[in-house]
Amino acid sequence: MKYTLDTIPVLDAYKTECECPLCKLRIHCEDQYIDSMLSSAYMEPDYRLKTNETGFCTRHFELMYNRRNRLGLALMTHTHMQEVIKSLEGILGGESGAKRGFLSSLRGGGKTAADSQPQKIRARMDGCFICDQMKNSIERYAYTIAQLYFTHTEFRGMFDNSKGFCLPHLALVLEMAEKTLNASQAEQFAKVVSRVELENLRRVEGELEWFTLKFDYRNDSKPWGNSRDAVERSINKLMGACVGAEAEMPAHND
């Protein structure tokens, strides 16, 4: 796959205070995808074919549900549901249905796990149109980070003093660097990433420890330092932004 740079959003994310700039970018583009799905994309036949087939994950259904355009969501859900019913007619109905499952279990098998109704139902519900699109955008940002490190002096300085990444995005950035930089650059980049990451993991771990120690009455009068939101930041560092201020979606009135 050929990636292209997307410099400005990456520089902007590095200028803000956060534990993972890729999480910041992820939330921003997630918000834009939700917007576009509910404002116009759902009326475009190409998009609609894809959303009918793929549907959405629970997170993205929930985020769309939290917006005001209930008719747009209803229309997309309706035609997706029609597609799902067609698939379920195949999975549950006729020869491939429960009867054959029962007969073949009497015969003692011949059926692989992937053929089973539960597996087929799970496979049908797999996937999310918004997750698929976001994956491409985030890979592009991770690619941009790896490239800018060797081409943009100001960015290199920002990166060296950054707070690293959450662990899922750490893995992604290292993977994109390995795929798209030459061997010596990839090695150099991996060393810098590792230094920045370990320093910052230890910092957050220390802040979390101080949070727990603040529950000891002997520490009552001592200052909190940076530890007030250490639980949120620790969870976000480990898993990607999912709790607290860093995980908040922008406010909307639509």
Question: Which residues in this chain contact Zn ion in the complex, by CB under 5 A?
Answer: 20, 22-23, 57, 60, 128, 130-131, 166, 169, 240
What would you report as the CA-atom Rg of the chain, rounded to the nearest whole angstrom? 23
Q: How far is the CB of 119 from Zn ion (least distance, A)?
A: 21
Q: How far is the CB of 69 from Zn ion (least distance, A)?
A: 18
Q: How far is it, in rounded angstroms, from Cα 32 to Cα 144?
A: 20
Smaller CB separation from Zn ion, 63 or 210:
63
| Contact (CB, 8 A) for 181 and 150 | yes
Smaller CB separation from Zn ion, 22 or 196:
22
Q: How far is the CB of 215 from Zn ion (least distance, A)?
A: 28
DSSP of 170-224: HHHHHHHHHHHS-HHHHHHHHHHHHHHHHHHHHHHHHHHHHHHHTTSGGGTTS--
Q: How far is it, in rounded angstroms, from Cα 131 to Cα 185?
A: 30
Q: How far is the CB of 154 from Zn ion (least distance, A)?
A: 22
Q: How far is the CB of 139 from Zn ion (least distance, A)?
A: 13
> Residue 175 — φ and ψ, nearest 5°?
-65, -45
Q: How far is the CB of 134 from Zn ion (least distance, A)?
A: 7
Q: How far is it, in rounded angstroms, from Cα 135 to Cα 54?
A: 15
| Contact (CB, 8 A) for 173 and 187 | no
Smaller CB separation from Zn ion, 23 or 235:
23
Smaller CB separation from Zn ion, 22 or 235:
22
DSSP of 156-180: HHHHHTS----HHHHHHHHHHHHHH
User: What's the CA angle centered on 240, arms 132 and 20, to 5 degrees?
Assistant: 105
Smaller CB separation from Zn ion, 28 or 100:
28
Chain position whose Cβ is nearest to Zn ion: 128
Smaller CB separation from Zn ion, 42 or 210:
42
Smaller CB separation from Zn ion, 29 or 130:
130
Q: How far is the CB of 21 from Zn ion (least distance, A)?
A: 8
| Contact (CB, 8 A) for 51 and 75 | no
